[in-house]
Structure 1
Amino acid sequence: MSYPLEKSNDEWQAVLNKEQFRILREKGTEAPFTGKYDKHMPEEGVYTCAGCEKPLYTAKHKFKSGCGWPAYFDSIPGAVTRHTDRTFGMERTEIVCSNCGGHLGHVFKGEGHNTPTDERHCVNSVSLNFSKDDKAVEGAKTESKA
């Protein structure tokens, strides 16, 4: 699959640290309860892709799931692409950044969380950056209308 932002592995390695490359480009996973955004619960702000800085989630999408990774019940419209992941002998829904294809994590449904969607986007902190400025989300909405 192709994405608007395409780079070679060498180009990605030049802009990502080793752990970001392992997770975003090689579909790795950080250890549970170790990520900087697991317990991060701001009132406002936006989480962006650590690979390309595109807005992915707002602070209002985030909830406490207790899973050990940042959890979101939804994403900014069009920001996240879903794929079927059949690794490890099971079928899951992988989520990637719609702009650069960077691996974010997986989506789980029907776990009974008290959220509007009953979904949990289980995202690696390493895949994210955070900005207190919600204007990044407004910019994404403007771009998607163009």
Structure 2
Amino acid sequence: MAFAYGLAVGTGSDIYSRLVFETVHGARISPYAFIGAGLAINHFYKDQVIFEEYWVTQKDNRGTLLPLFVNIKGYLPVSRKVAFYLSGDMGAALDLSNSFDEKTKLYVAAGPGVTFGRQNGGTLGDFSIRFQHIGDGLDAILFRIGVNF
């Protein structure tokens, strides 16, 4: 399970910050590889005020997406308690709030991370940075903190 805060990146007026809750279930098939399937909730919460010439427009950027994805990780164990990894997700994001133009969007996320704790079993702490792309205009950098069982 992981919690994340996403900082929106990009240009233009469609910039969406988000809070993320994510769970991935799978198996570490070797000390160097993991494969699993995941489910996340991305809640976009920031209202935007756009200043144009002589008027102000308030844009409601609230909405919720439900990404369903496949997750793979490649690990580099550096000790018995620490391992670095690269992670990649690919799947579809479903619009639960009817806030976006398309009901289903392509979901892709990738980035580095590190796990702390016994690598051969038990509970692990997890920190990672993810570069997230959902459809058009929903790019973000996620700072993730999680717990692995």
TM-score (norm 1): 0.24
Relative contact order (C-alpha < 8 Å, sep 6+): which is higher?
Answer: 1
- Bigger proportion of residues as helix: 1
Structure with the greater alpha carbon radius of gyration: 2
